[in-house]
Structure 1
């Protein structure tokens, strides 16, 4: 069997990570370069003239309007009391580990309390989610209905209080290989829910391939074409070649979640954990680059205090 080049890519070793981001000064410089690649710019007046002072952390003061800020103000890192080295190590662990990393494992690796590790993880998960919400799948797209919280029993499409429904979708390239994916929680498998999903997740030129579940017809609200296959139930249904990749990714997702998270409140947090899996998959072609890419996402995302994270939970 030929070696999978993506799976066996070098990535960023711990030694290389520590060489590049091992000190507070290195992390500060990397954060500055990621946030202001063209040089410092005032977030209030767009001025570029400044002077620097220190107040525990380096501060920039705009010479035009007098606004003063540090490198973390207005980012996911705002108001943190932790060293940047802790945040950067969390970014490294969440992007370079094979099956992601739990908050409990972050607690052990970072040397912080569980509450702190949980907050770091969910801020970074929400950052991933906001990035993935911008993605629109195009070309040939396989979709399927799925649930978190155990196997669905009974008639398909009828939810249960203990299970969280989500749409699994994967875009394949011209060679029939998987390219991008989206895993999106929905209110249920209804025509209205799938209509909203298609608006948010599909490009107008997408060619959607689905099974015979009636609500999938709603994708025509957005997608150019809908290819419907009535497959029935049982093991033979999941082996249909038309749905090879979406069934493969669902199997990988189940393995990843069960191997990393022994339990989590999927009713509240499904959107973030599914986005984490998608975020990592969609950037798998350059594993080492995921560290600076997530850093860039974090410094261009508005602050995410606990109150904002709780509001986000309530909406999903």
Structure 2
């Protein structure tokens, strides 16, 4: 008879996963455990009481997701100001939704969350939107530097499926498509932003604000990048129109690979994304991409949970 404890399965050491469902269930068995972990995450040094003007010991209130100061009785609500505020959904379901979103390579749809969590589609979509709102890293960390690839792309329906009259192009790109611009460090971080258009003013404004001066910028032959040397950047380019995709160290394969990853993910998982919410989807894919080489015990679920913060 096997000596394995079937009631306490352990993830195989040969597994590529860093965080299994069984491990999630052991750490987050119910709402109380989820709330306790949330408190430790938001108050690493203890809960500060505004009345006592110091960190005091707080006790969990019975049947309420809040804590009371042992000295003055002030109530502290850990979920206030977070993505969980004003939600009647179980806190464990919230964390399970985060686990599902973080465990997939290309994302998970709100419809699948609805089926997995047993909630309405409206509730699943709200959870989906709130969790994704934490993943915007636009203001986090330093600017890109070193060897940086830049490129613009368009998201929308296939041109071959459109009427000939709707295939016109302008400085805003193909009709019916949303313009995006991205930059990626070689072996480093990526950022992707939805753009109002692909004019020189819009593109170069993002280059100057998001890429450090004296960096080496690689691009294709687009005319908007011809002034990069005047802005203090080293510039290398490849001429795709001449079927030249690599010229020495110059290429844009990394950023184009990211575009391919996001477009295939959106096409396969979500099928269609409106321009209004496209930025949030790009944020999610960039968040995963920037942590694709995480080491040790750090895993994507922990990275998602670390983004939970209180707003003012």
Using the size of structure 1 for normalisation, the TM-score is: 0.80
* 1:147–1:43 distance in 2 versus 1, CA, 3 Å: farther
* 1:214–1:84 distance in 2 versus 1, CA, 3 Å: same
Name which of 123, 134, 152 aligns with 2:140.
134
- CA–CA separation in structure 2 for the residues paired with 1:112 and 1:21: 19
Q: Which has the higher helix share?
A: 1
Partner of 2:3: none
CA offsets per residue over residues 60-106 of structure 1, 9 Å max, x none? Answer: 34578875222111212111111110110111111111211011111
* 1:270–1:232 distance in 2 versus 1, CA, 3 Å: same
Name which of 38, 63, 66 aligns with 1:59.
66
After alignment, is 193-202 or 86-95 more displaced? 193-202
- CA–CA separation in structure 2 for the residues paired with 1:55 and 1:161: 57
Conserved? CA contact 1:72–1:78, under 8 Å: yes
Conserved? CA contact 1:127–1:301, under 8 Å: no
Name which of 126, 129, 137 aligns with 1:122.
129
Conserved? CA contact 1:53–1:60, under 8 Å: yes
Name which of 269, 292, 305 aligns with 1:295.
305
- CA–CA separation in structure 1 for the residues paired with 2:109 and 2:227: 36
Partner of 1:13: 20
* Superposed counterparts of 1:156-235, under 5 Å: 157-172=171-186, 178-217=187-226, 224-229=232-237, 231-233=239-241
Conserved? CA contact 1:186–1:197, under 8 Å: no
* 1:41–1:290 distance in 2 versus 1, CA, 3 Å: farther
Higher relative contact order (CA 8 A, sep 6+): 1
CA offsets per residue over residues 204-235 of structure 1, 9 Å max, x none? Answer: 3532111222223466687x41414251438x
CA offsets per residue over residues 134-167 of structure 1, 9 Å max, x none? Answer: 2432211111110110357566854244111001
Partner of 1:88: 95
* Superposed counterparts of 1:298-313, under 5 Å: 298=308, 300-302=309-311
Task: Please say if 1:270 is aligned against 2:297.
Answer: no
- CA–CA separation in structure 1 for the residues paired with 2:201 and 2:170: 17
Task: Please say if 1:70 is aligned against 2:80.
Answer: no
After alignment, is 135-144 or 267-276 more displaced? 135-144
* 1:146–1:116 distance in 2 versus 1, CA, 3 Å: same
- CA–CA separation in structure 1 for the residues paired with 2:21 and 2:83: 24
Pairs aligned (count): 286
Partner of 2:6: none
- CA–CA separation in structure 2 for the residues paired with 1:159 and 1:43: 53
* Superposed counterparts of 1:244-283, under 5 Å: 244-265=253-274, 267-283=275-291
Using the size of structure 2 for normalisation, the TM-score is: 0.81
- CA–CA separation in structure 2 for the residues paired with 1:217 and 1:66: 65
Conserved? CA contact 2:238–2:251, under 8 Å: no
